[in-house]
Amino acid sequence: MRTRVITGVLAGGAFIALLVIGGYAYAALIALMALIGYDEFVRMNKLSRTQAAVLCGFAGLILFLVPAFGPGFRYAELVTTERLVWFLVFALLAVTVLSKNRTTVDQAAYLFLGAVYLGSGYSYMIATRLEGEHGLYWTLFVFLAIWASDAGAYFTGSLIGKAKLWPLTKLWPAISPNKTVEGALGGAVLAVIVTVGFHLARPEWVGLGRAAALGVVIAAVGTLGDLMQSAYKRVKGVKDSGNLLPGHGGILDRTDSWLIVFPFLHLTGLL
């Protein structure tokens, strides 16, 4: 527990500092996290970093991040989603042919999934901070709501369980046996409290109803993102995606909710 707390404080403090600084310092941090996360994804699939298909996946991931740096970033306007997706599919399938199926279509599909999943998720984290004059506000809005949901879920479930007020209802025991319905509801309540706080700080930027609705959506989608990662790790037979952060696992373990929440809010027009 002590190691977990120390790691959380140090890593969290450094992350918040670069988030506040913004600009390319924050973007570079997220890009580095994306590369480490993809490396964890590759290792979970028991693939070698030196495989041609894996290198194509890394290249695709990097290209997903380029537009998020803004139109001033060289060649950003050339990297459209349609072009990127097609050329990544082309490259990965070409590798299966050129390797005479030593790289299988299944492996190519995993690598494509990882590049799109991580590339889009991390790119929207960058874009949210760098776009517009209120980038810091909205990035903190989303991150703090996610973290509040996680903390609220953990402490609500723990308190009810220790007090033995009633038997806890498992949320999805086949995938994540420790998550409970009561915890999820507690997390949603705390997320709404945080987002309403952002409304009170800047009511001209977000109305009360929208702030509360965003809190609920972030909590729900964040929980689903967590379950998605848990389901994948269960299929692959691993407990953690990596061991970069002592007591916390890998980058993917810490950012599973982020990877789903940020794209969801942007692509649905909620943010």
Residues 122 and 63 in one domain: yes
Residues 127 and 144 in one domain: no
Specify the pLDDT at position 178: 87
Task: Give the model confidence (pLDDT) of 101-129 as tens digits.
Answer: 999 999 999 999 999 999 999 999 999 99
| Domain membership flag for residue 244 | no
Q: Note down the domain range covering 95.
A: 1-131
Q: How confident is the model at residue 10 (pLDDT cuts 50, 70, 90)?
A: confident
For residues 183 and 169, give the distance between their C-alpha atoms in angstroms, rounded to a whole number: 9
The closest of 108, 67, 97 to 84, measured between CA atoms, is 67
What is the Cα gyration radius of the chain? 19
| Domain membership flag for residue 250 | no
Residues 21 and 46 in one domain: yes
pTM confidence score:
0.92
| Domain membership flag for residue 230 | yes
Eight-class DSSP state of 45: T
Residue 258 exposed, middle or buried by CB count within 10 Å (0-12, 13-18, 19+):
buried
Identify any residues that bridge with 172 across adjacent strands, giving them in sequence order. 176
Residues 91 and 144 in one domain: no
